[in-house]
Each structure stands twice: as C-alpha cells, then as structure tokens.
C-alpha cells in the first residue's frame, strides 16, 4: 500500500494542472478509496494548499490561488524548463534567487540535462530589468494609473515623463513600455532599462483606444525587425490558466472553449519561444510555423539525449 506521504505528493502533482478533478477520478488515479482521498485533501489544506471543492453529484476539486506560495512539485521536464528559462532571464534579483534555489536541489540526472540544453542554446539574455519595475508597471496598467519616471534617451539626456501605461512588450531581447505621453500628447515607446525614479502617484486616467497592434507599433518605433511569421499554439487548458503562466510577451491568448485556448505570437527568437511554451506546464500543440516546430524538436532532442 502506498504511504500517505507518497500518496499526497501524487495527489498534489495531479491537482497542479489547474483543472477540476472529480473524487472518483482522483481515487482511481491514486489507487485509494474516495474517503482516503478526502482525508488527503484535508491534509493538503492544513499545509496551506488552497484546494477548492464543488459539492454535489458532480462534485470536483481544484487547486486555486491562495494567500501564500506553498511548495510546488515539478516533473523532470518542468524542472529542466524552469531552470533553463530562468537562466535566460537571469540578471534580476528575484530570477537569480529562484535560479539558485532550483539548482541547489536539482538531482544530478537533471543537472546533466540542464547543462546539455544550455550548451546547445545561442540565445542572448534579455536586458536586465529589475523585477519591481515590471511588477509596478504591470499593476499600474491593470489599475489604469498613470506613472512618473525619468527617462534617458539615446543621446544620454534625461527627462521627467508623465505617462498613461497600456502594455509591456518584450522585443529583440529588451523590454518596452507602450503608453500615452501626457506632455507630448501622443503614443510613445520607452525602454524599461532606461527608466529610473519610477513613481505611481495613484491618479487614474480615462481609457484610450491604443494602437491596433501594440507589438507592431513598438517594433516600428524602435526599428527592430520582427518576424512576419506568427506562431500559433493550441493549449489544452483554459485561457485564464495559460495567461497567468505566460509573462507579458509579444502575443495574445484566445479562448477556444472552457478547456482550450490558442496563443498567437510573433517573437524575435523561435528558440526563446520554444522554451517559454514548455514552461507553461500544460499540454500544447504547435500549429506553426515550421521554424518553431523544428527548434522545439532540436531542444527536445538535446534534453532527451542528456537524459539517456
């Protein structure tokens, strides 16, 4: 008989896909009785895991967002994808701290896979941007609050700006902010690594109609070649789940139903996108283009060779 500790870890692993699972389904997958599963679910709640239950004949259980981050379980593939992805964005305090913690507990069999995949990549890390800048701007965008900051232009001259932020875009290994410049009364693009003295006074602004395609607008503003070929990926998960796990990038998530969605992107690096898709942690199918499919196969093969 499986020990309670092992069974609870298996239960947590199942619930972390973000979907609803009936008690009968969980009991069948764990080889335990429904009563035992209910006890294990209660233990998970006591440990801080926010397990939501839906009562009734079709009752089900789901792991939802809570007030704190409990310990997470990764499959081997997820752990490798997380470490490789963090290495690509290393340079911020939070990313470096998370990377150190993961690498410290990474089993030797996975450390070999990480080294193999990392050595096969030619990607250049994105410009280091403090995580607090991304978080502050993201919160301001969501609350429609204007921001103040000092911006250093290419000439090296700094100026104080008042901006109504609407979108953060990652392009050509740099982060950009798209917003309405209140002093210049026009849409402007700002490189995040040139922003200092960021302040959110708390005042809100009326919603404006942004450019039809924010990504293309930023691309044209900074004269960065952007792939004219769009990646199309179908995820076997709700749009809300996928959106939470994808960082603010050059792409959009479209719901195709309750349990399926489509992600469309025009990245500057197929290699980076291939790794990012794997880090979402849910089943997906790449519908195109051939470049993304081929790069995903190459990275997958490198990981497989390292594991065998």
On whether the CB atoms of residues 306 and 113 are closer than 8 A, the answer is: yes
Please tell me the predicted confidence (pLDDT) of residue 186. 92
Point out which residues pair with 268 in neighbouring strands.
none
Span 211-253, pLDDT tens digits = 887 877 887 777 544 455 788 899 998 877 887 777 645 567 7
Where along the chain do its domains lie? 4-63, 131-222, 231-307
The architecture in CATH of the region 231-307 reads: 2-Layer Sandwich (3.30)
Task: Give the dihedral of Cα atoms 199, 152, 195, 218; nearest 10 deg.
Answer: 120
Please tell me the predicted confidence (pLDDT) of residue 120. 44
Residues shown for the chain = 308
DSSP letters for the chain: ---HHHHHHHHHHHHTTS--EEHHHHHHHHTS-HHHHHHHHHHHHHTT--EEEE-STT-EEEE---SS-------HHHHHHHHHHHHHTBTBHHHHHHHHHHHHH--HHHHHHHHHHHHT--PPPPPP--HHHHHHHHHHHHHTB-EEEEEE-TTS-EEEEEEEEEEEEEETTEEEEEEEETTTTEEEEEEGGGEEEEE--S-B-------S-HHHHHHHHHT----SSPEEEEESS-HHHHHHHS-S-SEEEEEEETTEEEEEE--S-HHHHHHHHHHT-S-EEEEE-HHHHHHHHHHHHHHHHHH-
Please tell me the predicted confidence (pLDDT) of residue 71. 67
On whether the CB atoms of residues 41 and 53 are closer than 8 A, the answer is: yes
Residue closest to 145 by CA, chosen among 98, 202, 198, 67: 202
- Give the residues of the chain that fall short of pLDDT 70: 1-2, 56-58, 65-73, 84-85, 87-97, 101, 104-105, 113-131, 171-173, 223-228, 247-251, 268
The architecture in CATH of the region 131-222 reads: Roll (2.30)
What residues contact 294, with CB distance under 8 A and at least 6 apart? none
**Residue 253 to residue 175: CA distance in whole angstroms:** 19
CATH class of 4-63: mainly alpha
Point out which residues pair with 199 in neighbouring strands.
148
Please tell me the predicted confidence (pLDDT) of residue 162. 96
Asked if the domains 4-63 and 231-307 are classified in one and the same CATH topology, the answer is no
Residue closest to 31 by CA, chosen among 62, 56, 4: 4
């Amino acid at each position: 008989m499986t020990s309670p500790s092992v069974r609870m870890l298996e239960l947590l692993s199942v619930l972390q896909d973000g979907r609803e699972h009936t008690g009968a389904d969980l009991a069948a997958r764990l080889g335990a009785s429904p009563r035992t599963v209910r006890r294990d679910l209660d233990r998970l709640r006591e440990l801080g895991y926010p397990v939501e239950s839906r009562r009734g004949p079709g009752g089900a259980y789901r792991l939802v967002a809570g007030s704190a981050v409990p310990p997470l379980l990764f499959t081997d593939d997820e752990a490798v994808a997380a470490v490789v992805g963090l290495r690509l964005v290393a340079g911020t305090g939070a990313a470096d701290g998370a990377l150190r913690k993961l690498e410290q507990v990474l089993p030797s069999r996975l450390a070999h896979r990480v080294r193999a995949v990392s050595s096969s990549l030619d990607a250049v890390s994105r410009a280091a941007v403090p995580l607090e800048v991304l978080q502050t701007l993201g919160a301001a965008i969501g609350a429609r609050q204007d921001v103040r900051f000092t911006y250093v232009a290419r000439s090296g001259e700094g100026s104080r700006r008042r901006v109504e932020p609407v979108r953060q875009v990652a392009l050509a290994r740099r982060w950009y902010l798209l917003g309405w410049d209140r002093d210049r009364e026009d849409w402007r693009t700002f490189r995040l690594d040139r922003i200092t003295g960021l302040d959110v006074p708390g005042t809100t602004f009326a919603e404006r109609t942004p450019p039809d395609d924010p990504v293309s607008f930023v691309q044209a503003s900074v004269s960065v070649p952007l792939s004219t070929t769009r990646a199309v990926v179908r995820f076997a998960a709700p749009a809300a789940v996928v959106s939470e796990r994808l960082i603010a990038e050059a792409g959009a998530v479209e719901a195709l139903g309750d349990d399926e969605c489509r992600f469309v992107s025009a990245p500057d690096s197929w290699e980076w996108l291939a790794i990012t898709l794997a880090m979402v942690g849910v089943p997906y199918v790449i519908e195109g283009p051939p470049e993304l499919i081929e790069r995903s196969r190459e990275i997958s093969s490198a990981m497989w060779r390292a594991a065998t």
